[in-house]
Amino acid sequence: MTSAVAYLIVVPLLAAAGGWLAATRSRRLAVRISIAGAALTFFIALFTLWQTLTGTPAAQLSLGAHWGTLLFDPLSTLMAVLISGISLIVHVYSRRYMAGEQGYARFFVLLDLMTAALLLMVSAGDLVTLLVAWHLIGVLLYFLLGQEMTNHSAHRYAAWTFLTYRFGDLPLVLAAVLLYQAFDTWSLTAIFSALSTAPDTQTVFGLPLAETVATLIALSAFARSAQFLLHTWLPYTMSGPTPVSALMHAGIVNAGGFLINRFAPLFVHTDGVLHWIFVVGLVTAVVGSVLMLAQNDIKKALGYSTMGQMGFMVMECGVGAFSLAVYHLIAHGLFKGTLFLGAGGVIRQARQNDGVPKDDLYTFVVERRPARQRRPWLLMAVVTLVVPVTILVLAHWVVASDFFQKQGAIVLLFFGWVTGAQLIFATYRMRTENTWRLMGLILFSFTIVVVGYTLIAHAFDVFLYPDEVFRSQIYASAGIDIFWFDILVILVTLVIVAGWLVTYYAQNNGGRRSLQASAVWRSFYTLIAREFFVAAAYRRLSDALLGAASRLNVLLRWS
């Protein structure tokens, strides 16, 4: 029953209307209606996902002649469960958290409308519906972030978020216009079908349609998912209500990854677009992760953590692992939403008592005491390099023997290798009497995580894109010339091996202390403490534009 997709949007809209009408009589009644609507929406989403899992074929429901189409497919049902589930949790959490705030009932009405807009976005089957939902999310987020009327900081950065979102809307609007001009239809299914039969279609000025539209789609995704240089709105919106931060970081900011996946049939006909998507995601992941470590505010640190995770998600799309990006955004949405909702309790408990036992882990992390006796550094360096790559290779080989024939998969293995090596290096530096026992436990945990991650990622791949030929096309579109790829793999491998050998040797001989004491280290810390001066540059640009506008007003005597 594909009509269940329509109820996903109708129920939260009815809950918003009912809550607004009930608010004049009782705030509690309005909140109960809102929570009941969120719960019902979640169960409907579970029903649609169950239908998809039991073999109901993908279909679409047309509510209008030319637009208003809703898609019933694996991607829409999976995202609907994530959005409605997180929305339900945020609704229940907000019942007590927002009880003392002004506009209590209005907040729940806005939550219901945001849920409806997000569900409309993931189930949109045509460009007009997608654009309407895409725009409404930005508008509703502005009102949710500015829920507290007296908070000037929240309103300021809510406006900055709104402007950034509008900047990201323009490429998507232009992409929709180009697609409609080329194929004379708004339907995504019809557009993808026409594009597969005529992939060399050109647009204005003789530009290739697939490359041009894919670039515009990527730009729109960058703005919505806080990629580097378009990221400043994300960490500075922490003045808004905590439930909004949870919903935003757990659902709204993931829209970029969803958008790229929705247009996956378009990206398979591109050549170099996925390459620079990978570069942008890589830079964002590194910058976001580094800036997260330099924050002393827990919510801002979580904001930059989200930026880094969105970078990893976009980077996965850039190597052709589209379904892996969906798995990543779902996993990130669940744990990041939990972290935001628990941030207030952590702050309160830390102010009373940190509650951290003075054990070996605490001594190492907080007091920075390295182990008094270490294993031979060369032996540990070899273990660090060999063990993680062995676990990763065996796990992926069991799931799919052809995994290593895909360039994007090799890139992902490199990142898994570095992560595992970092884990063992941290074990090497810890203060413990039995290093091998601790390492064995950590490697066992690492193996369980890798195997589980590999199996689930493979299941997502088959579920979202059951056509094996299409999956191969996605990876192929992200590939480069095999000769240069092999050269890069060899060079990166040598750099990683040399880097870890130098790291172990420097750690064994106290080289890290000299690095920290150097002027280079202090300069780098200043750079990350000032967040690479990106926000300061935007602030100067804003002041310059306002000053120019004031001088123009005086010159033209407008004021």
**Mean pLDDT, residues 94-102 taken together:** 83
| pLDDT reading at 369 higher than 70 | no
* SS3 per residue for 88-146: HHHHHHHHHHCCCCCCHHHHHHHHHHHHHHHHHHHHECEHHHHHHHHHHHHHHHHHHHC
pLDDT value, residue 192: 92
Mean pLDDT of 389-395: 72
Among 477, 475, 410, 470, smallest CA distance to 74 is for 470
Confidence band of 49 (pLDDT split at 50, 70, 90): very high
Please state, in angstroms and rounded to a whole number, the distance separating the CA atoms of residues 397 and 381: 25
The residue length of the chain stands at 559
pLDDT at 80: 93
Which pLDDT band holds residue 433 (cuts at 50, 70, 90)? Answer: low
Confidence at residue 10, expressed as pLDDT on a 0 to 100 scale = 92
Residue ranges per structural domain of the chain:
1-125, 166-345, 370-517
Residues 6+ apart with CB under 8 A from 458: 399, 400
Residue that wins the pLDDT comparison between 79 and 423 = 79
Q: 309 pLDDT exceeds 60?
A: yes
Q: At 460, is the pLDDT very low, low, confident or very high (cuts 50, 70, 90)?
A: confident
CA-based nearest residue to 375, from 515, 507, 512: 507
Mean pLDDT of 226-255: 82
Mean pLDDT value across residues 412-435 = 68
pLDDT of residue 263: 94
Is the predicted pLDDT of residue 431 greater than 60, yes or no?
Answer: no
For the segment 229-255, the average pLDDT, to the nearest whole number, is 81
pLDDT band at 383 (very low <50, low <70, confident <90, very high): confident
Average pLDDT score, the chain: 81
Residue whose C-alpha is closest to residue 191's, from 104, 262, 115: 262
Provide the pLDDT for residue 103: 81
Residue 428 confidence (pLDDT) above 80: no
Q: Which residue has the higher pLDDT, 452 or 318?
A: 318
Most confident of 4-13, 113-122, 469-478: 113-122
Note the pLDDT of residue 510. Answer: 55
pLDDT band at 188 (very low <50, low <70, confident <90, very high): very high
pTM: 0.84
**Residues whose CB falls within 8 Å of the CB of residue 173, separated by 6 or more in sequence, listed in order:** 131
* C-alpha span between 271 and 387 (Å, rounded): 36
Q: What is the pLDDT of residue 408?
A: 66
Separation between Cα atoms, residue 176 and residue 186, nearest integer Å: 8
Residue range 125-152, pLDDT digits in tens: 999 999 999 999 999 998 888 877 677 7
Residues forming beta bridges with residue 313, ordered by sequence position: none
Check if the beta carbon of residue 288 is closer than 8 Å to that of residue 304: yes
**Cα dihedral 355→361→363→366 (10° resolution):** -70
**CA–CA dist 136, 422 (Å, integer):** 42
pLDDT for residue 220 is more than 90: yes
pLDDT score of 261 more than 90: yes
Mean pLDDT check: name the lowest of 188-192, 229-233, 393-397: 393-397
CA-closest candidate to residue 316, choices 336, 304, 331? 331
The proportion of the chain whose per-residue pLDDT surpasses 70, expressed as a percent, equals 83
Q: Which residues contact 486 (CB under 8 A, 6 or more apart)?
A: none
CA distances to 108, 238, 300, 349 from 151, rounded to whole Å, are 19, 12, 17, 25
Helix, strand or coil, per DSSP, at residue 295: coil
pLDDT over threshold 60, residue 364: no
Bridge partners of residue 59, in order along the sequence: 72
Q: Which of 63-67, 219-223, 322-326, 428-432 has the highest mean pLDDT?
A: 219-223
Q: Is the alpha carbon torsion for 339, 343, 349, 351 positive or negative?
A: positive
pLDDT on residue 44: 93
Neighbours of 114 (CB within 10 A): 27
Each residue of 510-557: pLDDT tens digit?
544 554 556 777 777 778 878 888 888 888 888 888 888 888 888 887
Higher pLDDT, 7 or 380: 7
DSSP 253: G
Give the number of other Cβ atoms within 10 Å of residue 240's Cβ: 23
Amino acid at position 189, single letter: T
Q: Is the pLDDT of residue 372 over 60?
A: no
The pLDDT of residue 276 is above 80: yes
Buried-exposed string 372-410: b where 16+ CB fall within 10 A, e elsewhere: eebeebeebbebbbebbbebbeebbeeebeebeebbbbb
What's residue 448's pLDDT? 75
The amino acid sitting at 355 is G
pLDDT average, residue stretch 365-376: 53
Element (DSSP H or E) covering residue 59: strand 59-62
Q: What angle do CA 89, 106, 338 make, to 5 degrees?
A: 20
107 or 519, which is more confident: 107
| Higher per-residue confidence, 25 vs 209 | 209
